[in-house]
Chains A and B, each alone.
Chain A
Amino acid sequence: MSSFKTTMIGYVGYRGREGQISFLLHRITGLGTALFLTIHILDTSLVYFFPQLYSHAIDVYRTTAFGIGEIALVFSVLFHGVNGLRVAYVDLIAPKLWTIPKSRSSVRWTLAVTLILWLPAAGIMLYNILRHNYGLFGG
Chain B
Amino acid sequence: MQINLKIFRYLPDSGNKPHYDKYVMEVNPTDRVLDVLEQVRADNDPSLAYRRSCAHGVCGSDAMQINGHNALACKVLVKDLDSTDITIEPLRGLNVLRDLIVDMEPFFDHFRSVQPYFINDSELPADGKERLQSPTERERFDDTTKCILCAACTSSCPSFWADGKYVGPAAIVNAHRFIYDSRDTAATERLEIMNEATGVWRCRTIFNCTEACPRDIKITKAIAEVKKAIITGKLEN
Contacts and interface: CB of A to CB of B under 8 A. Distances in A.
B231 interface: yes
Contact of B207 (A1, A4, A13, A17): A17
Interface size class of B (residues with CB under 8 A): 20 to 34
B9 to A, nearest CB: 15
If over half of A's interface residues share one DSSP class (helix, strand or loop), that class is named, otherwise mixed; here it is helix
Interface size class of A (residues with CB under 8 A): 20 to 34
B164 interface: yes
Interface in A1-42: 1, 3-4, 6-7, 9-11, 13-17, 19-20, 22-23
Nearest to A98: B221
A20 B206 contact: yes
B207 A11 contact: no
A103 interface: yes
A4 B228 CA distance: 30
A117 B221 CA distance: 30
Nearest to B206: A19
Interface string B100-144: 000000000000000000000000000000000000000000000
Contacts of A87: 204-205
A53 B41 CA distance: 68
A87 B205 CA distance: 7
Interface in B46-89: 65, 67-69
A3 B162 contact: yes
B92 A3 contact: no
A100 interface: yes
A7 B220 CA distance: 20
A23 B162 CA distance: 14
A10 B92 CA distance: 7
Contacts of B205: 19, 87, 90-91, 103
Contact of B204 (A7, A15, A23, A98): A23
A54 B210 CA distance: 51
B206 A22 contact: yes
B26 interface: no
B156 A6 contact: no
A99 interface: yes
B211 A16 contact: yes
A99 B221 contact: yes
Contact of A14 (B207, B208, B227): B208
B93 interface: yes
Contacts of A100: 207, 210-211
Nearest to A4: B162
Interface string A75-104: 000000000000100111001001110011
A98 B67 contact: no
A17 B227 CA distance: 23
A23 B218 contact: no
Contact of A7 (B161, B206, B210): B161
Lowest 10 A-B CB distances belong to which pairs? A19-B206, A15-B68, A19-B207, A98-B221, A7-B161, A23-B206, A10-B161, A7-B162, A16-B208, A15-B69
